[in-house]
Amino acid sequence: MIVYHRSRRTARFARAFVWALAACLAGPIARASAETPPVPYVRPKPIWDRFTILVWQYKTDVRKDLPLYKQVNLRGFHIDRGAGKEDRVKFAVENKLPYYNDHAASKGILHLTGSRNRILRKKTVVARPYCLVDPKTIDLLKGHLRRNISVTRNGPVLAYAFDDEVSLGSFNSPAEVDGSRLSVADYRKWLRRTYGNILKLNDSWGTNYAGFDEAEPVSFESVRRKHTAGPFARWRLARWMDWRSYMDTQFADCLAKLTRYANSLDATTPAGFVGGQQPAPYGGYDYAKICPAVQWIESYDIGGSCEILRSLWRAQRKPYVQTWFSTGSARRDAWFLWYYLLHGNRGVIAWPDRGGSWFHHADGKIAPFIRDNAETLGEVQSKLSSVVLDPQTTFDADPVAVYYSHPSVQATWAMDVVTHKGTWPNRSSSLDNKCQSAGKNRVAWFKLLEDCGLQYNVVTGEQVAGGELIAGKYKVLICNRVAAMSDAEAAGVRKFVAAGGTVVADHLTGVLDEHGVGRPKGGALDELFGIRRDESKGYLGGGITEIDGERYSKPFLERLRYDGALRHKGLVVYERGTTAGRGGEAEATVDGAAVIVRKLTGLGRAVYLNLTPMAYYDMDYRLGTGGHAWRSLVRHTLGVAGVGPRAQVYRGGPPAPVVEGRPRSRTVPLAEILYWRRGDRVVVGVVKNPTRQGSITGVGKVHGVTGAPVDVTIHFRKPVTNVINLRTRQKLPAGQDIQIKQWKPWEAILLEVTMP
């Protein structure tokens, strides 16, 4: 609790009044993208009222293998393209089998195939083989949609995917497209809309143009050499970051046009794409722009994309699904399906290949690791899953917001690639997935909050600027490596704090503006945090690259460049020259650097950690002393803000006082609790929560989900009533402690309770 020099009742009244007033003054909430108007919402069809496994037709043909599908409770598939596939549609109708339509806009245009070699590993801006603002390209894509959808719409189709692994270039690999004449002309129009007048652009770019027609796109190579070290106050990435931001807009605009056209052919079926990538500077993956442009997505869970989609689509419940590559372990596969169901995925697209195929395995049957999961495959696709997926049910997060800043993704990528020097164009998408600091920091914060028993929503910079923090009644905002921030966003954060909110930042907050231009007077929120910066003392151990991409083949912790870095209680200090001032008070100083600086402002507070949680991404660190130190820090910091876990999972019986120096029960590691609410009825789900790195070719490592079953108790902060175990339909006693016998850690606990 924050202690004010007034009575508690008066403080509560004042805080509530200020919050209400601020919400009124904030005006309408900014949509996720201020550029691409949102496409219409298309509600999932009644046939998609539950979790659905859709089998990719690789080394299997559902028309021939349907008996094998039925053996393991598989009931969905995919149709490629569509034109000429009337027989498959008829088969689906006759057998009541739902499917999704992939490559509905064909392949090779949104996902460049053979032509991608013309754009990769180039240091200059090049033309994209198919320009996405060229009407001829759009007409070509629409023609494919028309031919394919005219066939597939006649059956139980769940969704249309324009293409698989769509990208401006190739996945997230650096590709400086599109330098074609039409694209550059449109870019100049975008610059005019963005800046309003040429003087503002010149101030941002450091140029002296007479008009916008003189502006040209530049590659990263044009800015690289001046951005290999601090101080960030002198950085000027605007010419490159504006170009990347425009291309993200171009990509989203193209997707929106195709979505609307698909709706004109079939208004009842959502349109989008599959094989989505993590947020990145290249490829077009700014989710703040993509989310309003499509109506469904299958995205690899890299860089927290699942939680981003869940958050940005929480109001409309647009469908998002996951790729399922079998691990070859029935238990790990079962965990995967339960985990993503509880995280709001409406299904998975199953890649039926592991050393051959699930189908027609060595014995001509379904592979044993799939057969062993037949019961699980049936249960996750049963009516049980609809309690989570009902469009009227919403994710019930704690009042915690996590910042999604795409300009910061761009700017911190520039820090990441310093280690590559002139070979930066060779940084492949797969390497970036392993070593991108923005993505790994984001996931570290997600796991850290979840391990503290908390859930959260992701908010975009546009939403912060538009008043969402106040209107959404958040108590805490996490600024996770938000290096680039607009003045409007900074103003939104200050209003939030003045109205009673708490902002917690890790490091580098607001040192650049939204275009990547350094602020000579310090970060946008330095006064709010009560800090002063002296960048001459450097960062970390001296450099600005935290994850060394040249060490991509080494274990994660060995990629972190912490040699010589300062540490506070074992935690890595980021900014060596940051000190407390302007009313801020530091918990400690390390060789002159202030850590955990706190400042009260208005009715709220600001906390600047000056620490990096990046190592928390690693499972060993997460379960070790470093992870414990981070959880203690975050629990305390958020607890002071009035945010604590609603429930915790204990091994054995309920928590008890210490007996003979040791507690009689303890929390179950990696047990995540999620909440889905409809009115006063809440679905409480418990599932193991390891750090998992998905990929385009496999599920990634899954730790700690194959142990022995264990008796657990879910201890609620406040008593719950009308408790039902949804999997057994058993009614359980009301109260604060709900006991579950023999929980299998590769499965989920699903309760429905009444709670405030």
Whether residue 527 is contained in a domain is answered as: yes
> What CA–CA distance (Å, rounded) separates 284 from 243?
11
User: Which pLDDT score, from 0 to 100, does residue 3 have?
Assistant: 28
At position 122, the amino acid (one-letter code) is K
Sign of CA dihedral 504, 507, 510, 514: negative
Find the CATH number of the domain harbouring 463.
3.40.50.880
What gap in Å lies between CA 469 and CA 622, rounded to an integer? Answer: 29
Asked if residue 29 belongs to a domain, the reply is no
Judge if 608 and 657 occupy the same domain: no
- 631 and 685: one domain? no
* 340 and 321 inside one domain: yes
pLDDT higher at 592 or 662: 592
| Terminal alpha carbon distance of the chain | 21
Predicted pLDDT of residue 20: 41
* pLDDT tops 70 at residue 149: yes
> Tell me: the pLDDT tens digits for 626-673?
999 999 999 999 999 999 999 999 999 777 655 554 544 589 999 999
702 and 617 together in one domain? no
On whether both 133 and 149 belong to a single domain, the answer is: yes
Answer whether residue 210 is part of any domain.
Answer: no
- 36 assigned to some structural domain: no
Q: How confident is the model at residue 613 (pLDDT cuts 50, 70, 90)?
A: very high
For residues 312-337, give the mean pLDDT. 96
Residue pLDDT, tens place only, 517-528: 999 999 999 999
Domain around 134: 46-179+217-389
Q: Whole-angstrom Cα distance, residue 234 to residue 702?
A: 43
Token look-up 């003392």 returns 537
Over residues 292-303, the mean pLDDT reads 97
Q: Is residue 189 a part of any domain in this protein?
A: no
- pLDDT bin (cut points 50, 70, 90) of residue 387 is very high
Q: pLDDT value at position 188?
A: 98
Proportion of the chain above pLDDT 70, given as a percent: 93
The pLDDT, as a whole number, for residue 696 is 56
With contact defined as beta carbons under 8 Å apart, do 677 and 685 qualify?
Answer: no
Q: Is the pLDDT of residue 472 over 60?
A: yes
Q: Based on the domain organization, do 372 and 423 belong to the same domain?
A: no
Helices (DSSP H) in 364-479: which residue ranges? 368-371, 374-380, 386-389, 406-416, 429-435, 437-451, 461-465, 468-471
Final residue of a domain: which of 332, 357, 389?
Answer: 389
| Residue 334 sits in the same domain as residue 460 | no
Give the domain CATH number at 672.
2.60.40
69 class by beta-carbon count within 10 Å (0-12 exposed, 13-18 middle, 19+ buried):
buried
Q: Which residues pair with 676 in a beta bridge?
A: 395, 683
Question: Which of 606, 640, 674 is a domain's end point?
Answer: 640
Cα–Cα distance for residue pair 475/483, rounded to 1 Å: 22
pLDDT digits (tens, 9 = 90+) for 433-448: 999 999 999 999 999 9
Structural Rg of the chain based on CA atoms: 26
Task: Compute the average pLDDT of residues 378-393.
Answer: 97
Q: For 30-39, 44-53, 458-467, 655-664, which range has the lowest pLDDT when averaged over its residues?
A: 655-664
pLDDT at 394: 97
Amino acid letter at 600? L
Per-residue pLDDT for 453 more than 60? yes
Average pLDDT along the chain: 93
* Spatial CA neighbour of 583 closest among 641, 537, 527, 664: 527
Averaged pLDDT, 13-21: 40
> Using one digit for the tens of pLDDT, what is the confidence trace for 347-376?
999 999 987 889 988 878 899 999 999 999
Q: Count how many domains the chain has.
A: 3
* pLDDT for res 115: 85
- Would you state the pLDDT for residue 492? 98
Q: What is the pLDDT of residue 699?
A: 57
Cβ atoms of 462 and 31 closer than 8 Å: yes
Q: In this predicted structure, what is the pLDDT of residue 363?
A: 79
pTM: 0.94
533 with 402, same domain? yes
